[in-house]
Structure 1
Amino acid sequence: MTAIAWSPNSQQVAACDGAGNVQCLNRITQQTHSLQTGTGQSVDALAYSADGRFLAAGGQDGRVSIWEMSGDAPTLFTCLENPRTWVDQLAWHPRRPELVFSLGRYAQVWEVETQQVLTTLAFENSSVLDLAWHPQQDWLAVGGHQGVKIWQDWDQDPAIRELPGSSICVSWSPDGQYLASGNLDRTMVVWPSEEDVPWRMTGFPGKVRQIAWSADAESVDADPLLSAASGNCITTWHRLGSGWEAELLEEHTQAVNAIAFQPNTTLLVSAAADDFLCLWQGGGKLVQAQKSISGSALAWSPDGQTLALGGQQGEWQLWTQSARGQGFF
Structure 2
Amino acid sequence: MPQIAPYSFGGPVEAAVFLGDEPVFALSDGTIRFPAGGERSLRAHAGGLLVARLDASGRRLLSGGEDGRVVATTADGTLSEVGSAGRRWVSAVAGGPNGAVAWASGRTAYVREAKGETKELPHARTVEDVAFAPKGLRLATARYDGASLFFPATDAKPQELEWKGAHTGVVFSPDNRFLVTIMQENALHGWRLEDGKHMRMTGYPAKIRSWSWSVKAKYLATSGAPAAILWPFSGRDGPMGKSPLELGTRGDTMVTAVSCHPSDEILAIGYADGMVLAVRIADGREALLRRGGTGAIRTMGWDGAGRFLAFGTEGGEAGVVDIST
**Counterpart of 2:6?**
none
Larger RCO, structure (CA 8 Å, separation 6 or more):
2
Query: Equivalent residue for 1:327?
Result: none
Q: Which residue of 2 aligns with 1:147?
A: 146
For residue 23 of structure 1, the aligned residue among 20, 33, 42 is: 33
Q: What is the DSSP-based 3-state SS (H/G/I as helix, E as strand, rest coil) of the residue aligned with 1:96? A: helix
Q: Aligned runs of 1:162-173 on 2, under 5 Å?
A: 162-173=162-173
Tell me by how many angstroms 1:37 deviates. 7.2
1:321 to 1:206, Cα distance in 2 relative to 1, 3 A: closer
CA distance in 2 between partners of 1:136 and 1:40 (Å): 34
**Identity percentage over the alignment?**
23
Instruction: Decide whether aligned partners of structure 1 residues 172 and 81 sit closer, same or farther in structure 2, where only a CA change above 3 A counts.
Output: closer
- Counting matched residue pairs gives 304
Alignment gaps of 5+ in structure 2:
1-12
Question: Which whole-Å CA distance do the structure 1 matches of 2:245 and 2:148 have between them?
Answer: 29
Q: Which residue of 2 aligns with 1:205?
A: 205
**d(CA) in 2 for partners of 1:97, 1:241:** 31
Structure 2 counterpart of 1:14, which letter?
Answer: V
Q: CA deviation at 1:231?
A: 4.4
Deviates more, 1:277-286 or 1:254-263: 277-286
The one-letter amino acid paired with 2:309 is L
Corresponding residue number in structure 2 for 1:308? 310
**1:6-17 alignment to 2 at 5 Å?**
6-7=18-19, 10-17=20-27
Distance 2:282 2:66 in 1: 34
Q: What are the equivalent positions in structure 2 for 1:236-247 lying under 5 Å apart?
A: 236-239=230-233, 242=237, 243=240, 244-247=242-245
CA distance in 2, matches of 1:38, 1:84: 12
User: Could you tell me which amino acid in structure 2 is paired with residue 268 of structure 1?
Assistant: L
Provide, for residues 208-248 of structure 1, a one-character-per-residue CA deviation record: whole Å limited to 9, x for no partner.
323221114xxxxxx61122221444321225785332223
**Are the structure 2 counterparts of residues 42 and 247 from structure 1 closer, same or farther at C-alpha, using a change threshold of 3 Å?**
same
1:24-39 map, 5 Å: 24=34, 30=37, 32-36=39-43, 39=46
Q: What letter matches 2:263 in structure 1?
A: N
- Scaled by the length of structure 2, the TM-score of the pair is 0.83
How many Å apart are 1:81 and its aligned residue?
4.5
**Which residue of the partner structure matches residue 248 of structure 1?**
246
Range that drifts further, 134-143 or 55-64: 55-64
The change in CA–CA distance for 1:181 and 1:49 in structure 2 (over 3 A counts) is closer
Give CA deviations for 1:174-228 in whole Å, capped at 9, x if unaligned.
2222222221122212322322111212222133323221114xxxxxx611222
| CA deviation after TM superposition for structure 1 residue 283, in Å | 7.0
Amino acid of the residue matched to residue 149 of structure 1?
A: S
| Structure 2 CA distance for aligned equivalents of residues 39 and 284 of structure 1 | 47
Letter in 2 for 1:75: T
d(CA) in 2 for partners of 1:105 and 1:299?
A: 30
- Take 2:257 and 2:300, find their aligned partners in 1: how far apart are those partners? 6
User: Do the aligned residues in 2 keep the contact of 1:169 with 1:211 (CA within 8 Å)?
Assistant: no
Which residue number in structure 1 is paired with residue 15 of structure 2? 3
User: Superposition pairs for residues 179-194 of structure 1, below 5 Å?
Assistant: 179-194=179-194
- C-alpha separation between the residues in 2 aligned to 1:124 and 1:174? 29
**Contact 1:213–1:225 (8 Å) recurs in 2:** yes
Question: By how many angstroms is 1:274 displaced?
Answer: 1.3
Alignment of 1:95-244 (within 5 A): 95-114=97-116, 116-117=117-118, 119-125=119-125, 127-153=126-152, 154-216=154-216, 224-239=218-233, 242=237, 243=240, 244=242
- Residue 41 of structure 1, aligned match among 24, 48, 58: 48
The answer to whether the 8 A contact 1:248-1:284 is kept is: no
Contact 1:268 1:280 in 2 (8 A): yes
What is the root-mean-square deviation of aligned Cα atoms in Å?
2.6
Q: Which residue of 2 aligns with 1:262?
A: 261
Contiguous gaps of at least 5 residues in structure 1 = 217-222, 324-329
Distance 1:98 1:81 in 2: 14
TM-superposed CA distance for 1:105, in Å, is: 1.2
**TM-superposition CA deviations, 1:7-58 (whole Å, max 9, x none):** 3xx3233211122221235x7xx35432217855234224346272x44321
Displaced runs of 4 or more, over 6 A = none
SS of 1:109's equivalent?
strand
1:313 counterpart SS class:
coil
Amino acid in structure 2 at the alignment position of 1:132: A
Q: Does the Cα contact within 8 Å between 2:18 and 2:301 map onto a contact in 1? A: yes
Separation (CA, whole Å) in 2 of partners of 1:231 and 1:61: 34
